[in-house]
Structure formats: structure tokens, C-alpha cells
């Protein structure tokens, strides 16, 4: 067996190559881009704010129309090798309308950088946001995180970071999180079509699989995915949520019965959607 019950790469690819198995993948990519263009035109935004020394380390800040607004840091997907933050500006629409300053981060992509560098950049973006968001009207003491697909994985990495010892930040620097269609066990990916793009080492698999590093204490976590996603992607979320709860942590499931891997984040456009309402509810607790 390569991984769990899978004996061949073709079997794994059938589960994890979601673009190949979803006829709507390109339509959704175009939808994301167009809705993001509209969001940048309609909302106040500070574009391409640098949070690190390299060009990809930038973020877009969509401030809410209130002082000391809670802050949501969003991390985009793309299997760690594709997409950019500007394709996901649309996620700000729902939260900003509810008074939540939204930060959409960009990061370098594999294989131009090692996988571990992407994890470092996600952590650096959170540190920068905590230290600087007050200048944009945000409250650094009410900092929340969300991400989709690869961004869901990176959300898991932020939740399992030792903020106090490694960064000198409060252990509760993240107040809550929503991980969407995430990938929490990296072990299958060296056996898949992704490996030439990711060039994962086994040390990176071990060090950056959030399910292997569940903390003893952590903020509330909402885990969600589309019921029409491949069974392996659903299992990844279910196993991570189960492990989270097994450690006595606050983990909540948000079903999305009609959604697939791509439509699972469409709810960010509508503050009354199940997804946006769950995030806002988490922030308002």
C-alpha cells in the first residue's frame, strides 16, 4: 500500500486531483477572478502591503468601516503551487459588510520555494498582521484565521504553531479559525501527481502535517467542506476534527451539503450564508 488502502498513484490521483475530476474547475476559477475584481472596485482596499523581504510576501487589507474591528486573515488555496491572493479578494465581501477587517495574504509557490518556506510565510503574515493591523483600524487582540484547500492546511499550521516560544507572541494570538476543505495529512502527496510540483521531503511531511501536531490548548475551530468533495478530502477534514476533539479542544463541524471543493468558499460573498454566518458567529462569541 502507498497510503492507507491505496495501492497505486492513479488511485490517489483520482481522489486528490480535484481539478481533473471537476468539470466546473475552470468556471469557478473565472468566477473567483471576476468576483474579486468587483470586490476590489467596491470595497476600500490597501493593495500589495509587504509583510516580508520577498516579492510574493504581500497582502491586501480590506478595512471595515469601524474602529478596532475584528480581523480575519484569509489564506488562499491552489495546492501550494498555483493561484494568487488577487484571485480571492471576493472573500472580503461578506466579512467586511459585517464589520470585520479582512486580510488576504499572498505567498510564494512551489517549486520556486520549498514547501516549508510557504509555512514560514503564513506564520510571518500572521505576525505582521498582529503587529501592524491597528494602523488600518483593526484590533490585533481579535485576530481570526481562515483558509481554503492548501489554505486550510496552512490554517492548521498556524493553529499548531508555538507562538510564545518561537515568535514571542501570546499563546492566544489566534482567537479562532475556520478551515475549509483543508489537507491536514501530507503523507499521500509524495505519491501523487503533485510531487514534481511540491518536491516534498519526508521531513516536511512529518513537520507540517497539522494532524500530527495537535496542541494541548487552542482556540475554537470550525471545520467545513463540501459534501460533494472526493471521499479522501472529506476524510481529511473529518479525521482532523476528530483528532482536535480527542485533545479536548473546541472543534465544530459545519456541513455544506450542496457544495463541492470549489463552491465551498462561495459563501464568503453573502453575509447570510452558512459559511459566513459561522465565521461571524465565531468572531462575535
One pLDDT digit (tens) per residue for the chain, 285 residues: 999 999 999 999 999 999 887 778 888 899 999 999 999 999 999 999 999 999 999 999 999 999 999 999 999 999 999 999 999 999 999 999 999 999 999 999 999 999 999 999 999 999 999 999 999 999 999 999 999 999 999 999 999 999 999 999 999 999 999 999 999 999 999 999 999 999 999 999 999 999 999 999 999 999 999 999 999 999 999 999 999 999 999 999 999 999 999 999 999 999 999 999 999 999 999
What are the angstrom distances between the C-alpha of 16 and each of 4, 34, 66, 152, 227?
14, 26, 41, 15, 15
Give the CATH number for residue 157: 3.40.50.1820
Return the pLDDT at 21.
Answer: 74
Structural domain of residue 172, as residue ranges?
9-284
Q: In what order do the strands lie in the sheet with 46-50?
A: 46-50, 58-62, 101-105, 69-75, 138-148, 176-180, 221-226, 251-256
Q: What is the rounded distance in angstroms from the CA atom of residue 103 to the CA atom of residue 264?
A: 19
The domain total for the chain is 1
- The verdict on residue 1 lying in a domain is no
- The verdict on residue 219 lying in a domain is yes
CB 103 within 8 A of CB 126: no
- The verdict on residue 71 lying in a domain is yes
- The verdict on residue 4 lying in a domain is no
CB 266 within 8 A of CB 90: no
249 Rama class: left (phi>0) / alpha (psi -120 to 50) / beta? beta
CB 51 within 8 A of CB 59: yes
Amino acid at each position: 500500500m502507498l497510503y492507507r488502502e491505496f495501492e497505486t498513484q492513479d488511485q490517489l490521483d483520482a481522489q486528490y486531483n480535484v481539478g481533473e475530476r471537476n468539470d466546473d474547475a475552470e468556471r469557478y476559477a473565472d468566477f473567483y477572478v471576476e468576483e474579486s475584481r468587483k470586490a476590489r472596485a467596491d470595497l476600500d482596499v490597501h493593495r500589495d502591503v509587504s509583510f516580508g523581504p520577498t516579492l510574493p510576501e504581500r497582502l491586501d487589507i480590506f478595512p471595515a468601516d469601524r474602529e478596532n474591528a475584528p480581523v480575519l486573515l484569509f489564506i488562499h488555496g491552489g495546492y501550494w503551487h498555483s493561484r494568487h491572493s488577487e484571485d480571492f479578494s471576493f472573500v472580503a465581501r461578506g466579512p467586511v459588510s459585517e464589520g470585520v477587517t479582512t486580510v488576504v495574504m499572498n505567498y510564494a509557490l512551489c517549486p520556486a520555494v520549498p514547501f516549508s518556506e510557504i509555512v514560514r510565510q503564513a506564520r510571518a503574515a500572521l505576525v505582521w498582521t498582529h503587529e501592524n493591523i491597528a494602523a488600518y483600524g483593526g484590533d490585533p487582540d481579535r485576530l481570526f484565521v481562515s483558509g481554503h484547500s492548501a489554505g486550510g492546511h496552512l490554517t492548521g499550521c498556524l493553529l499548531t504553531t508555538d507562538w510564545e516560544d518561537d515568535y514571542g507572541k501570546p499563546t492566544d494570538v489566534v482567537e479562532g479559525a475556520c478551515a475549509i476543505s483543508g489537507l491536514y495529512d501530507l503523507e499521500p502527496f509524495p505519491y501523487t501527481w503533485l510531487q514534481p510540483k511540491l518536491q516534498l521531503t519526508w521531513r516536511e511531511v512529518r513537520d507540517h502535517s497539522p494532524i500530527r501536531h495537535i496542541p494541548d490548548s487552542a482556540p475554537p475551530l470550525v471545520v467545513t467542506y463540501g459534501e460533494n468533495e472526493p471521499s479522501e478530502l472529506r476524510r481529511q477534514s473529518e479525521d482532523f476534527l476528530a483528532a482536535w476533539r480527542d485533545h479536548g479542544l473546541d472543534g465544530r463541524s459545519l456541513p455544506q451539503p450542496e457544495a463541492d471543493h470549489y463552491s465551498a468558499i462561495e459563501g464568503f460573498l453573502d453575509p447570510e450564508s452558512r459559511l459566513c454566518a459561522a465565521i461571524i458567529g465565531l468572531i462575535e462569541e
